[in-house]
Amino acid sequence: MAAKRKSGLSTRASRHEATHRRILDAAVASLVEEGTAATTTVAVQKRAGVSRGALLHHFPTHAELLAATVDELVRRNESAARDAQASHTDIVDPIDRATRALADAFAQPAYLAELELWAVARTDQQLHASLRVAESRARRDLERVVGDLFGPLREHPAYTTVAALTIEFVRGLALAGVLRRNRAHRNHLLEEWIRVVRLLLDQKPTARISSTASKPRKAIND
């Protein structure tokens, strides 16, 4: 009997996890493909093929559902950064390679969907509160990914400043690309930023920025 009860509990736990995963995958797909405004609980429920009760059991509020997608979006963004880095193996200069890989990763739909969540949280207090929990994990992951991309430059005194400024630059480039899809202009700006980074690295050490991701996430922490 004990073994049977244990087996039953294990089966229920597996079903619970499968349903949770299905709902979360549906929410992420909706965010990436349709955007935050279209990712309602009803839309996610239909896409996941679950009952209203099941959705609310796993994610009682819309804000909790959206906040839960951050980890998966970050995972996809990290994967995009790795893929972008692999696609630029022909570039010898580590500054050039890292900057272009980061810019390519930030231009992907999953990253733009993550940015959209942060932007919506500006006027949605419930989402703002829910995202604060996910924000610290996202910040650590971003720092790790950027550190891996820049590799040996991490030991340079100006690395923290360069990494933080590069994140800000490629984020702005990604947002501008939503409206202005001019690849030649984008490449020109990237080349100019890479030139600026080399100048920063050649200068004597100055005051550092404490965290590579503290500035990009500042609006969420305020």
The predicted-structure confidence for 24-39, as pLDDT tens digits, reads as follows 999 999 999 999 999 9
What residues contact 156, with CB distance under 8 A and at least 6 apart?
A: 162, 201
Q: Looking at domain 2-60, which CATH architecture does it have? A: Orthogonal Bundle (1.10)
At 146-166, the pLDDT tens digits run: 999 998 888 899 999 999 999
Given a cut of 70, the residues of the chain with pLDDT beneath it are 1-9, 204-222
Give the whole-angstrom CA distance, residue 82 versus residue 89. 11
What pLDDT was estimated at residue 167? 93
In degrees, to the nearest 5, what angle opens at C-alpha 122 toward C-alphas 117 and 124? Answer: 80
What pLDDT was estimated at residue 221? 43
What pLDDT was estimated at residue 203? 79
Give the whole-angstrom CA distance, residue 105 versus residue 97. 12
Say how far residue 145 (Cα) sits from the centre of its chain. 11
What pLDDT was estimated at residue 20? 95
Q: What is the pTM of this model?
A: 0.77
State the sign of the Cα–Cα–Cα–Cα dihedral 180, 183, 185, 191.
Answer: positive
Domain boundaries, the chain: 2-60, 70-221
What pLDDT was estimated at residue 13? 82
Radius of gyration, alpha carbons of the chain? 20
Give the whole-angstrom CA distance, residue 203 versus residue 130. 41
What residues contact 71, with CB distance under 8 A and at least 6 apart?
A: 134, 137, 138
What pLDDT was estimated at residue 9? 55
